[in-house]
Amino acid sequence: MQNQAMDDIVQQALIKWPNVPHCYGWLGLDARGRWYLRDDTAQAQGRFPQSKGTLLEHTKLIAFIERNYAADAEGQWFFQNGPQRVYVELECTPWIWRIEPDLSLLSHTGRAATAGVMCLLDDEGRVYLSSDIGLGLVHSLDVAQVADAIEHGAWAVQAVCADDLPAQYGFVRSPASLDAGSPE
């Protein structure tokens, strides 16, 4: 489930400081592929996404996070910040897809992916696509394009329950809840 190669400086920091404690609850990814910093105040006000925190807007910081975004063996997604692993609270899925004109996928991190033939639709009308790199939610601005693709036979539709997706596709929405000992 690893993303592309992490920055060299991150790899060097991991070697130099191998035992830095992990960080939970401080970073969130919303259903539109936006990153949120969740300080103590945001965390005290509730779980993500009900209490989102501060939208990150610094382009270089966002690019650094996205280059160093990956998943561990348990399906918990994180940003490797030098020697510290910062686990990500997911509103929906680990990937948010933008649909290219040729129906290929581009993730919120800029990573290209190839969609499978199955399009998933949940009871709230959200659209998901599985791909060669995992499951992702289709960005709300691209749902009409997916509808056209379905109409033209590019993808078949299957109804799903959104709450079943983490277990079916091997990802954890809230590593902070697992760390605290409560279920996701």
- Indicate the residue type of 14: L
pLDDT tens digits for range 50-91: 999 999 999 999 999 999 999 999 999 999 988 889 999 999
Which CATH number covers residue 27? 3.10.540
- Tell me the per-residue pLDDT of 132-181, one tens digit each, with 9 for 90 and over: 999 999 999 999 999 999 999 999 999 999 999 999 999 999 999 987 65
Say if residue 17's pLDDT is above 70.
no
Task: Let me know if residue 21 belongs to a domain.
Answer: yes
83 shares a domain with 54: yes
Same domain, 47 and 86: yes
pLDDT value, residue 4: 57
Give how far Cα 181 sits from Cα of 16, 91, 131, 165, 175, Å. 30, 19, 31, 21, 10
Within a domain: residue 61? yes
Instruction: Encode 95-111 in three state secondary structure.
Output: EEEEECCCCCEEECCCC
| 1: in domain | no
Q: Is the pLDDT of residue 2 over 60?
A: no
Q: The CATH number of the domain where 148 resides is what? A: 3.30.720
Residue 87 and residue 104 in one domain: no
User: How many domains are there within the chain?
Assistant: 2
Residue 184 lies in a domain: no
Q: Is the pTM of this model over 0.75?
A: yes
Quickly state the pLDDT bin for 19 (edges 50, 70, 90). Answer: confident
- 51 SS3 class: coil
Residue 15 placed within a domain = yes
Range of the domain at 121: 95-165
